[in-house]
Amino acid sequence: DTGVSQNPRHKITKRGQNVTFRCDPISEHNRLYWYRQTLGQGPEFLTYFQNEAQLEKSRLLSDRFSAERPKGSFSTLEIQRTEQGDSAMYLCASSLVDYGYTFGSGTRLTVV
């Protein structure tokens, strides 16, 4: 297992388009998290899964955002009708216990 994998690494999209990102966590980790990070800021929590159940969503996650984790394995994060303010690095992390995440390299989204 080579860690948490995120695809694509970079995505440029036009405003109003839909985008979907994928995260493959470390296989034995049952917890998966999505965070968003803008330049000069620390990551902000978006949502969290334990196995296939989405247990918590941030108020940052508007109705244009949806995340799934079918079968408790990989996860997808979809943004509908993208806006320029959605431009950010989207980070996925997984963990087995509460202490310490393993992050992926992120997906850099640019909305033009």
Partner 1 sequence: TQLLEQSPQFLSIQEGENLTVYCNSSSVFSSLQWYRQEPGEGPVLLVTVVTGGEVKKLKRLTFQFGDARKDSSLHITAAQPGDTGLYLCAGAGETSGSRLTFGEGTQLTVNP
Q: Does 42 bind partner 1 (CB under 8 A)?
A: yes
Q: Is 25 in the site for partner 1 (CB under 8 A)?
A: no
Strand partners, 92: 34
Determine how β-strand 5-7 pairs with β-strand 19-24: antiparallel
**Token representation of residue 108:** 């850099």
Minimum CB distance to partner 1 smaller for 55 or for 81: 55
Site for partner 1 (CB under 8 A): which residue of 22, 29, 45, 87? 45
Residue in 32, 90, 30, 39 with CA at minimum distance from that of residue 60: 90
User: Which residues of this protein are in contact with partner 1, per CB under 8 A?
Assistant: 4, 31, 33, 35, 40-45, 48, 50, 55-56, 91, 93, 95, 98-106, 108
